[in-house]
Structure 1
């Protein structure tokens, strides 16, 4: 088969080279963007008189017919045509004949693939933002239902201070908000159109790039043709956002895995998102959470792959850049799948509030409050810290909590301690008097929930676009 680019070649491509060179096995995913970009290009060519209006209409109908064939699974992708661009162009030529050969006027596969990949990226960003909105809503909803569920807060995975389950989940909601805004920044930075850059130096034809931008929903054409075909910053930035987003999911999944153990027993993950053991009949494993945690490293690998590919490339297009697609597709699809799983998993998990409360009673999580109490009675903080540490040590030896010490015993350590100490170091009081902005008190967490409810109502979803 003679290649559409094969005029200067005397020999056919070696079979091994043909297979090695072909990208159709994965870039066929871009078919709708390739066809949409080609339709816009054909419209522009007809409107500017570069080709006849009648020819433009014929080409557009041919492209629409190919799109229908692909959607009905009756189009044969052929690796001999190498990539999605040549497969579609060859298909249109078969459909409508010689006139289809005019479609590629004033463009190159270099600017064509940059266009397709950027359009795929843009749609992916909007899809992920829709899922992130749902993720924030799920975290807010579960938080609102658990605003009084007291649990230990941890540092170094050691019980530290009492908080609420809502306060913990709302921390993850803040991460999701940053993920959404990071993608909003992607849209602000990268919504420029590479089509019209040609192979690297534009074109001699009087194309109207602003018209093509209008047809394809870009803010403006890229202003340097070399950069237009060389730029893959949008791939790097999207994979970077995927990596950060997956890291955020991995962190909450780590907590879910720990909390679902019998040692913690804070939550039970729904059967729909758990699996069993082929040997041990009692097992219920948090596999969905573990898989998300595991897939995070894979997305990091996708980011490192594209960074490594690009780091030594001269301008403009190089065949190395064919390697951008598989890592981008994998990173994007992994984040989408992970969000699609974790949203219903969070909504359906059971929270064992009695266990979280009992765990908070242990570990002296109210010790900081005892020190604060002494400070408010006039004791210097360092002295209060020392006194509290001595009281904790005594409790450890006796196997009791701070709430179990008699007032007489407290006064051995400091005459400043009165019977109001018991209310002051009660867990509910410890949580709710931490009422500074961002704190775990019911008032502050309620305010945070209201703020995020209003925020998500301002966000667009894929159905709104």
Structure 2
């Protein structure tokens, strides 16, 4: 057992207690961050003449060699060590001797792990932004190709009014665009360096925390040493944002599942993202969409776990905070995999445009426009609403659409109907005449597509 704190103790720790306390099994993920932070700390110590340039050189080269050997499989991170910090320091001392014993000068594991988590989370925020950008590009491509692909719009899962596929998918573009902007906000707030805060009260060594922050690409140092080592707000924000991403993916998954059903047949999912049944040979199941929907609850659980861990912790660092890692890692891995797979599935999705248009035609989605037609002819809207309601009931009995009725039949409901009603309630007219900002007409959608294309070109994290 290799630890950094044995001097105070005369007895050995219980083996079960050691394993319970150790975090090496999961914080080994921090190896690169710990190396990077230790190199920056050593560079700052040398600048401040706390260690010599030669010692800094030995430390830096030793850290690089450890990282290289682990990546090459020559050095194994084992449970012999309590955590990634003790693994790195013990191996550094083995390689460079007394110089390695100085790497921890002016530093605590508290600010060390706070730095590692912040560096790791920052990298994952950037990676998540890239995945969201890929999703937005995919959605925009679908929008560009489908400004005149008619389909029913829904409320309460009931056919409501005709829209286009571009308009429907555009709603998800807005959702994921907000998700991308949340990543930018999170990165802005989290991008301050806790290294140099020590255990909780700083240090008497003349550290240059601004320089350390600069070396690690932070905006600057954190301004309160107690908050520096006990803050996990940025992680909670990140998991909350990932939960929102997953909620959006889950909603979209639900729609893909419905659209893939035999009753709708709006989409065909590529074989690469479907599975079959062990007993029913005809089945092609939307398993990826269903798993994304299911894993959403898992990410929610990770967020709640972290919130619950943090809710009763007094200042400053407490061992409870070790529980932040596994929840964060799981949420990040799950959301990353779901977003990657869903985007790939979406990119290969085939839309059955004829079925979409036919569904819009048979769902009385033009009923509101038929009422508006009567209003334009002079009928009060509430009366028009009642007339079209009776007309729809008549069509349900006859198993036909409003468009299928002859003009004489329409006139039996109102003399205001004339031959121009057929053009007024066609899908094209119903969609094309909706010209307000945010509406589904091709003219408006093309402007929105231009705005979104410019957003993607200009966006910087």
Per the normalisation by structure 1, the TM-score is 0.97
**Gap regions ≥5 residues in structure 2:** none
Q: CA RMSD in A?
A: 1.1
Counterpart for residue 165 of structure 1: 165
4+ residue segments displaced more than 6 Å: none
User: Does 1:14 pair with 2:14?
Assistant: yes
After TM superposition, give the deviation of residue 294 of structure 1 in Å.
0.7
For structure 1, the residue ranges without an aligned partner over 5 or more in a row are: none
Retained in 1: the 8 A contact 2:48–2:206? yes
Cα offset for 1:419? 1.2
- 2:139 corresponding residue in structure 1: 139
How far apart are 1:460 and its partner, in Å? Answer: 4.2
Aligned partners of 2:2 and 2:86 also within 8 Å: no
Contact preservation (8 Å) 2:131, 2:336: yes
Aligned to 1:85: 85
- Number of the residue aligned with 2:393: 393
Alpha-carbon distance in 2 for matches of 1:289, 1:297? 14
1:407 equivalent in alignment to 2:407: yes
What is the match of residue 338 of structure 1? 338
CA contact (8 A) 1:18 1:80 kept: no
Determine the C-alpha separation between the residues in 2 that align with 1:381 and 1:71: 72
Write out per-residue CA displacement over residues 242-300 of structure 1, whole angstroms, 9 at most, x where no aligned residue.
Answer: 00001101111110011011111000000011111111111111111111111111000
TM-score of the pair, normalised by structure 2: 0.98
Are the aligned partners of 2:30 and 2:117 in contact in 1 as well (CA < 8 Å)?
Answer: yes
Q: Contact conserved, 2:150 with 2:162, CA < 8 A, in 1?
A: yes
**Aligned counterparts of 1:71 and 1:77: Cα–Cα separation in 2:** 11
The verdict on how the C-alpha distance between 1:296 and 1:444 changes in structure 2, with shifts beyond 3 A counting, is: same
Say whether residues 1:281 and 2:246 are aligned partners. Answer: no
Q: For structure 1, which segment, 55-64 or 222-231, has the greater mean C-alpha deviation from structure 2 after superposition? A: 55-64
User: Cα offset for 1:71?
Assistant: 1.1
Question: What residue in structure 2 maps to residue 435 of structure 1?
Answer: 435
**Counterparts of 1:451 and 1:131 in 2: how far apart (Å)?**
20
Shift of 1:382: 1.1
Conservation of the 8 A alpha-carbon contact between 1:226 and 1:315:
yes
- 1:372, distance to aligned residue in structure 2 (A): 1.0
Q: In the alignment, what sits opposite 2:122? A: 122
Following the alignment from structure 1 to structure 2, what is the Cα–Cα distance between the partners of residues 178 and 2? 46
Aligned pairs (5 A) from 1:166-181: 166-181=166-181
Determine helix, strand or coil for the equivalent of 2:258: helix
Structure 2 partner of 1:264: 264
Name the CA distance, whole Å, in 1 between partners of 2:237 and 2:345. Answer: 28
Q: Is the 8 A contact 2:3 2:82 kept in 1?
A: no
Q: Are the counterparts in 1 of residues 70 and 77 from structure 2 also a CA contact under 8 Å? A: no
- In structure 1, what is the Cα distance between the partners aligned to 2:74 and 2:136? 40
Describe the SS at the equivalent of 2:70: helix
8 Å Cα contact 2:432-2:441 kept in structure 1 = yes
1:144-223 to 2 correspondence within 5 Å? 144-223=144-223
Worse-matched range after superposition: 349-358 or 299-308? 349-358
The alignment covers a number of residue pairs equal to 461
Alpha-carbon distance, 1:81 to partner: 2.1
C-alpha distance after superposition, 1:395-445 (max 9, x if no partner) = 112222111222222222222222111100001111111111111111111
Write out aligned runs for 1:69-108 (5 A). 69-108=69-108
